[in-house]
Amino acid sequence: MSTTPVESPAAAPSQSRRQIYIVMSGLMIGMLLAMLDNMVVGTAMPTIVGELGGLAHLSWVVTAYTLATAAATPIWGKLGDIYGRKGMFMAAVVLFLIGSALAGMAHSMTQLIAFRGVQGLGAGGLMVGAMAIIGDLVPPRERGRYQGLMAAVMPLAFIGGPLLGGLVTDHLSWRWAFYINLPLGALALVVTGLTMHLPKRPRGTSRIDYIGAVLLTTGIVCLSLMTSWGGTEYAWSSATVIGLGAGAAVSLTLFVLWELRTDSPILPMNLFRSRNFTLASVLGFLVGFAMFGAVTFLPQFQQLVQGASATNSGLLLLPLMMGMLVTTMVVGQLVTRTGRYRVYPILGGVAMTAGMLLLAQLTVGSTRLTTGLFMLVLGAGLGFLMQNTMLITQNSVEMKDMGAASGAATLFRTIGGSLGVSILGAVYSDRLTSGLTDRLGEQAGRSLSGSGGQLTPALLKQMPADVRDAVEQAVASGVHNVFLWASAFTLLAIVAAWFIRETPLRGAPGDQPAPKDREIAEPAAV
């Protein structure tokens, strides 16, 4: 059977491992900026609201950032394919720093929301830019050597972010929650500008797909607002939420139809002809769903049931992050050594589902040690999947589509996280309210469940014993249902991973360029 080879990365300039590590340090700083920002700002938000006012608009400080990031991600990926990844990555850093400086100087909540949107536009190019550049610099077969460095960024952000946010807010000013990005971003620009040497590629005649960008942005905004507002700001059956859902469906349908006919699509639909690319996109969505769901609801259990301090919320997730980090590093080395990767997404799906089912068994009497061990299992599952989904994605496309493919993978993971928090949040809220009303009565139960963020561990300690017991039981029941529902979704990851084909990874010594996976007749055995 004839095959059409994917472009080989042989044209990439030869660089030593030390040179690659230096270049990647600049990329990792950029990724850290995107991940760290929300964690730092989250700790500073009570102080920000106290000074600027506008409590009713608090959620928009986060929503504006995430919406702009999601909408900009695939656009940055395509711009990198057309104009060069190094320049676009540096432009994203500059835009992010401009938004950070403006946010630090904001004098009203309206200004802060607008400038957070500017930050989000830049952040959309940081993650996808870094991933696409790594795809240019390091062939898939060799990428396992460097996966530990990439994986270390996430625990550093989740653990260091809240601590750093509290430190600068208490000892400097909440404005430094944004200004702290400036020296980090400047360092990323210097390292990237001086050390990054990417392969030269012809610019070609591609144009920016403005119509596709508008349709995709509209669809993402409608979908994100629907999942963010549904069940919180508005009822799921309200005209607003239904209208947003209809707007998302229409916009995304028109986007797909337009991408099929335009000459320069922002997200080439032919990428989805690759079985591995499509399955990796599904896996990325499910990883985002599981990861953000766990990160959102585990602190609720640990603070309200186990009495942990909110200040140490980042440290509470350390077992999850360490499981992810260690597994990623080990799997990366094994992939580099053997060139085989199909088994790891399957193991990841199994471990992720097992972790969800274990966390669903948490009760009021569960210890922190037990919770930590269960999180370790979930983290290991995420570690099997996190970097391997991007590796499979990038190994399934031609080099000219690396940016668009990386942008799509990042986008699906972001949307998965957004939907995960929204859907599991609705499950948690419903079960929490039901549990409280069953134990305390309709009026008292709904009053407590509606207190939301005001239901703190400190406030809980001041309540009568019977009320404390009712709250702890209701929270444990809500978390049980969250992880039980999440396990039903993660089961799909096992199914998706099973159908991935073991195609050769580009870049192995002596290997020929990898054929497109859809043209290989038989998948390799696990």
Greatest alpha-carbon pair distance for the chain in Å reads 75
Query: DSSP state, 199?
Result: P
Q: Measure the CA–CA gap between 368 and 147, rounded to whole angstroms.
A: 29
Q: What is the dihedral of CA 424, 427, 433, 434, to 10 degrees?
A: -150
Would you give the distance in Å from CA 307 to the centre of its chain? 28
Burial letters 432-471, b for 16+ CB under 10 A, else e: bbbbbbebbeeeebeebbeeeeebeeeebeeeeeebeebb
Q: Judge whether 42 and 201 are in contact, CB under 8 Å.
A: no
Tens of pLDDT along the chain (526 residues) come to 333 334 444 444 455 667 777 777 777 777 777 777 766 776 666 667 667 765 555 667 777 787 788 778 888 877 877 777 788 888 998 999 999 899 888 888 888 888 888 988 888 888 777 777 777 777 666 666 666 666 667 667 766 666 676 677 667 777 887 888 888 888 888 887 777 766 665 555 567 778 888 888 888 888 877 877 776 677 778 888 899 989 989 998 998 898 888 877 877 788 888 888 888 888 888 888 877 777 777 877 877 787 776 556 556 777 887 888 788 878 877 887 787 888 889 999 999 999 999 999 988 888 888 888 998 999 888 888 877 887 788 777 776 777 677 777 777 887 787 777 777 777 887 787 787 787 776 666 666 655 444 455 667 677 777 777 888 888 888 888 889 888 888 898 899 889 988 887 766 444 444 445 544 333 443 3
pLDDT for 143: 64
Q: Helices 58-83 and 109-137 meet at what angle, rounded to 10?
A: 30
- Give CB contacts under 8 A, 24+ apart, made by 352-355: 352/286, 352/287, 352/290, 352/378, 352/381, 352/382, 352/384, 352/385, 352/490, 352/493, 353/381, 353/487, 353/490, 353/491, 353/493, 353/494, 354/381, 355/379, 355/380, 355/381
Q: Measure the CA–CA gap between 360 and 425, rounded to whole angstroms.
A: 15
Report CA-CA distances (Å) from 248 to 212, 215, 217, 228: 14, 9, 10, 13
Sign of CA dihedral 278, 284, 287, 292: negative
Sign of CA dihedral 311, 314, 320, 323: negative
pLDDT for 350: 93
Query: DSSP state, 466?
Result: H
The two three-digit tokens of residue 421, written as one number: 């928090």
Strand partners of residue 5: 515
The 10 Å Cβ neighbour count of residue 373 is 14
Query: DSSP state, 523?
Result: P
pLDDT for 145: 63
> Which phi and psi (to 5°) does residue 398 adopt?
-75, 155
Q: Measure the CA–CA gap between 90 and 326, rounded to whole angstroms.
A: 30
Q: Measure the CA–CA gap between 358 and 366, rounded to whole angstroms.
A: 11
